[in-house]
Structure 1
Amino acid sequence: MIDFWLAAGLLLLVALSFLLIPVLRSRRAQLEEDRTALNVALYQERVAELQTQQEEGVLDAAQMDAGRAEAARELLADTEGVAAPRVTRLGKPAPLLAAILVPVLGLGLYLHFGASDKVELTREFSQAPKSMEEMTQRLERAVAAQPDSAEALYFLGRTYMTQDRPADAAKIFERTVNLAGRQPELLGQWAQAQYFADGKKWSDKVQALTDEALKADPKEVTSLGLLGIAAFEAERYQDAIDYWNRLLEQLPADDKSRIALQGGITRATEKLVASGGQVVKAPVAKATALLKVSVDLAPDLKAKVQPGDSVFIFARATNGPPAPLAAKRLTVADLPATVELSDADAMMPQLKLSNFPEVQLVARISRAGKPTAGEWIGRSQPLASSTTAPQTLTIDSPDK
């Protein structure tokens, strides 16, 4: 904050200069005016002396005129270059009073309406915290300075959870929900904090929060994980396995938490078998999206391609990630061909055709065998992922 106040002080000096410089100039003008008045008085005194000498017969008329002319020349020489006095309506006290009131009023207004605390927080957040306690203090000050910031509240709640302060986290997540709305992720975080704040006791409140979160988003990960933990603690091992398997399907393949989650499923399975039970595997859901597409080459391209050139046929979301949702690979020799794209062809478990309402079909020829770049391409118009009618796709354009 030191550099901020130094900059503010410099700007204040610049502002005061506009008020004080005219005062200093007027003082110099006053000195020049006083000197001019003195010269005029000396001139008048000299003329009176010459008149006295003329009356006494010491000087004749010619000598009188010559003396008076000499005195006038001296007066003009002394007053040459002196500007005419300027008259101001404000007077001298007004600028001096303004010079005092401007900084005092400006400082008072800034302290009342300004954001010096936010400036300091911005400076702090530009530097990495030295400890978790320092980070927590910063977030608490950020929330105090911006009580309507849902983002600041959310991060403070997550920080409280990492510090094993679930009761404080639950209150913060409740405030976040009141500000940002009842979003599934926020409801899941609130339910989790409330569960641990209650000493790992399941309550109607936690049940209502998880039910609401999963109703809005059946794949909400925090709620699925929490329900699995609660089921395991209540020795409902089959329910724990089911919830954790659903959570496992949502996690990326390289997510480090998959190992711990798989370990939990294994422990729940062992305890279920040890108690005389048997694991019931959830039925494999059928693909809810199935697109049937016939692909062929435009006649004028058949002489420009090689039989071994790769042909990538895929569907991608119209509004979503650019990665293909489902894909098949053929060669030019296989064309014309009819393929089916479904959830079973998903490139990643969390990116399925059925997860996106609208998709586009694409067929690309790539001599280098790269699905992301090639020589020729064909694209369909956007269509619903639930479309059951067969589609036709023609490769007819240069791939730019």
Structure 2
Amino acid sequence: MIDFWLAAGLLLLVALSFLLIPVLRGRRAQLEEDRTALNVALYQERVAELQTQQEEGVLDAAQMDTGRAEAARELLADTEGVEALRVSRLGKPLPLLAALLVPVLGLGLYLHFGASDKVELTREFAQAPQSMEEMTRRLERAVAAQPDSAEGLYFLGRTYMAQDRPDDAAKIFERTVNLAGRQPELLGQWAQAQYFADGKRWSDKVQALTDEALKADPKEVTSLGLLGIAAFEGQRYQDAINYWNRLLAQLPPDDNSREALQGGITRATEKLQASGGKVAEAPAAKAAARLKVTVDLAPGLKDKVQPGDSVFIFARATSGPPAPLAAKRLTVADLPATVELGDADAMMPQLKLSNFPEVQLVARVSRAGQPTAGEWIGRGQPLASSTTAPQQLTIDSPDK
């Protein structure tokens, strides 16, 4: 912060100069005014002396006029080049008082309305924390400085959970939900923190939070994991297996938590079998959708495009969100080309081809490289997302 205060001090000196320079100029004007008054007094004294000599008969009228003219010339010579008199006078308290009040008032306003705490936080976050406690202190200060930041609250809640402070985390996640809205992920985090804050006791509040989260997103991972834990603690081992299997299906193949989750499923299976129960078979998983399409340009367009123009090939739901469900990017030089669009190419995890019964294939040429707008386009007829037969798509129409 030293460089900040040095810069602030420099700017303050510049501001004070606008107040002090007129005062210094006023002092010079005062000195010039005093010198002019002295010259006038000397002139008047000289004229009085000449008049006395004329009355005594020492000087005649001509000599009197000559002496008066000479005194006048001397007065003019002494006052030549003197600036006009100024109204301001040295010693007026207002400019000096303002010079004292400006820095004091400026500092007070900055401390009240400024962001020195945020400046310091920014400098701190530029350096890696040395411990989890230091990170927690930084996040707490960030939340205090920006209480309306849902992102800061979310990270503070996650940090509290990592430090085994679920009661504090539950309060923070509640504030986050109030700010950011009742998003499924936030509801799941709040429910998890509340469950552990209540001593691993399932409550109507936790049930309501998980129900709301899974209603909005049936694949919300925190809620699925929490319901599995609660079912295992309540010796409802089949429910625990079901919830954890649903969670396992959402995790990427290289996720580090898959091993621990699979271990929990194994323990629940063993306990269920030891109690005389039998593990129910999981329902068959929906086959992943995969569409194979060959894309080419209409003959009449080949001289109107350039080899480097982008070609976007995507599938979108005929009844559903306008966002592409799966997409690939090529160039005109690659055409004709055959590509596959499947769940692995999903733009968002919740928007997969297999989640929509009917889709449409689209290919667009965009010289600017924009997937949402281009020069030429080709559209296929609606087809089932489970279609396995190869499809043919021709880019042949202006993109309007």
Q: CA deviation at 1:280?
A: 1.9
> Once structures 1 and 2 are overlaid, which stretch shifts more, 70-79 or 379-388?
379-388
- Indicate how the Cα distance of structure 1 residues 359 and 90 shifts in structure 2: closer, same or farther if over 3 A, else same: farther
Whole-angstrom CA distance in 1 between matches of 2:247 and 2:89? 81
Residue 269 of structure 2 is matched in structure 1 by 269
Contact 1:287 1:342 in 2 (8 A): no
Whole-angstrom CA distance in 1 between matches of 2:96 and 2:357? 72
TM (norm. structure 2) is 0.78
> Once structures 1 and 2 are overlaid, which stretch shifts more, 324-333 or 248-257?
324-333
- Indicate how the Cα distance of structure 1 residues 246 and 22 shifts in structure 2: closer, same or farther if over 3 A, else same: same
Deviations 1:29-77, CA, capped at 9 Å, x for gaps:
1111111111111111112212222222323333333322222221111
Whole-angstrom CA distance in 1 between matches of 2:207 and 2:237? 18
> Once structures 1 and 2 are overlaid, which stretch shifts more, 82-91 or 386-395?
386-395
Whole-angstrom CA distance in 2 between matches of 1:46 and 1:306? 101
- Indicate how the Cα distance of structure 1 residues 300 and 148 shifts in structure 2: closer, same or farther if over 3 A, else same: closer
> Once structures 1 and 2 are overlaid, which stretch shifts more, 131-140 or 359-368?
359-368
Whole-angstrom CA distance in 2 between matches of 1:158 and 1:189? 8
- Indicate how the Cα distance of structure 1 residues 179 and 69 shifts in structure 2: closer, same or farther if over 3 A, else same: same
Contact 1:237 1:271 in 2 (8 A): yes
> Once structures 1 and 2 are overlaid, which stretch shifts more, 315-324 or 8-17?
315-324
SS of 1:177's partner is: helix
Whole-angstrom CA distance in 2 between matches of 1:354 and 1:265? 26
Q: CA RMSD in A?
A: 6.1
Residue 134 of structure 1 is matched in structure 2 by 134
Whole-angstrom CA distance in 1 between matches of 2:11 and 2:296? 72
Whole-angstrom CA distance in 1 between matches of 2:247 and 2:63? 122
TM (norm. structure 1) is 0.78
Whole-angstrom CA distance in 2 between matches of 1:45 and 1:307? 102
Whole-angstrom CA distance in 1 between matches of 2:207 and 2:200? 13
SS of 2:109's partner is: helix
Q: CA deviation at 1:391?
A: 8.6
> Once structures 1 and 2 are overlaid, which stretch shifts more, 381-390 or 181-190?
381-390
> Once structures 1 and 2 are overlaid, which stretch shifts more, 349-358 or 208-217?
349-358
> Structure 1 vs Structure 2: percent identity of aligned residues?
91
Contact 1:156 1:172 in 2 (8 A): yes
> Once structures 1 and 2 are overlaid, which stretch shifts more, 7-16 or 56-65?
56-65
Deviations 1:88-138, CA, capped at 9 Å, x for gaps:
599933222322332233233333333332332222222222211111111
- Indicate how the Cα distance of structure 1 residues 311 and 197 shifts in structure 2: closer, same or farther if over 3 A, else same: closer
Deviations 1:126-159, CA, capped at 9 Å, x for gaps:
2222211111111112222222222221111110
Q: CA deviation at 1:13?
A: 1.7
Q: CA deviation at 1:305?
A: 16
Whole-angstrom CA distance in 2 between matches of 1:330 and 1:33? 86
- Indicate how the Cα distance of structure 1 residues 100 and 280 shifts in structure 2: closer, same or farther if over 3 A, else same: same
Residue 16 of structure 1 is matched in structure 2 by 16
Residue 233 of structure 1 is matched in structure 2 by 233
Contact 1:251 1:350 in 2 (8 A): no
> Once structures 1 and 2 are overlaid, which stretch shifts more, 389-398 or 173-182?
389-398
Whole-angstrom CA distance in 2 between matches of 1:5 and 1:295? 63
Whole-angstrom CA distance in 2 between matches of 1:302 and 1:54? 118
Contact 2:362 2:378 in 1 (8 A): yes
- Indicate how the Cα distance of structure 1 residues 350 and 213 shifts in structure 2: closer, same or farther if over 3 A, else same: closer
- Which consecutive unaligned segments of at least 5 residues does structure 2 have? none
> Once structures 1 and 2 are overlaid, which stretch shifts more, 237-246 or 215-224?
237-246
- Indicate how the Cα distance of structure 1 residues 55 and 189 shifts in structure 2: closer, same or farther if over 3 A, else same: same
Contact 1:249 1:349 in 2 (8 A): no
Contact 2:27 2:89 in 1 (8 A): no
Whole-angstrom CA distance in 2 between matches of 1:330 and 1:60? 116
- Indicate how the Cα distance of structure 1 residues 67 and 247 shifts in structure 2: closer, same or farther if over 3 A, else same: same
- Indicate how the Cα distance of structure 1 residues 329 and 133 shifts in structure 2: closer, same or farther if over 3 A, else same: closer
SS of 1:182's partner is: coil
> Once structures 1 and 2 are overlaid, which stretch shifts more, 203-212 or 159-168?
203-212
Q: How many residue pairs align between the two structures? A: 400
> Once structures 1 and 2 are overlaid, which stretch shifts more, 23-32 or 356-365?
356-365
Contact 2:325 2:346 in 1 (8 A): yes
Contact 2:23 2:90 in 1 (8 A): no
- Which consecutive unaligned segments of at least 5 residues does structure 1 have? none
> Once structures 1 and 2 are overlaid, which stretch shifts more, 258-267 or 216-225?
258-267
- Indicate how the Cα distance of structure 1 residues 87 and 196 shifts in structure 2: closer, same or farther if over 3 A, else same: same
SS of 1:87's partner is: coil
Contact 1:308 1:333 in 2 (8 A): yes
SS of 1:244's partner is: helix
> Once structures 1 and 2 are overlaid, which stretch shifts more, 281-290 or 223-232?
281-290
Contact 1:293 1:339 in 2 (8 A): yes
Contact 2:290 2:340 in 1 (8 A): yes
- Indicate how the Cα distance of structure 1 residues 89 and 371 shifts in structure 2: closer, same or farther if over 3 A, else same: closer
Contact 2:286 2:354 in 1 (8 A): no
Q: CA deviation at 1:239?
A: 1.6
Whole-angstrom CA distance in 1 between matches of 2:399 and 2:235? 58
1:125 has 2:125 as partner = yes
Contact 1:252 1:349 in 2 (8 A): no
Q: CA deviation at 1:191?
A: 0.9
> Once structures 1 and 2 are overlaid, which stretch shifts more, 199-208 or 239-248?
199-208
Whole-angstrom CA distance in 2 between matches of 1:18 and 1:32? 22
Q: CA deviation at 1:12?
A: 1.9
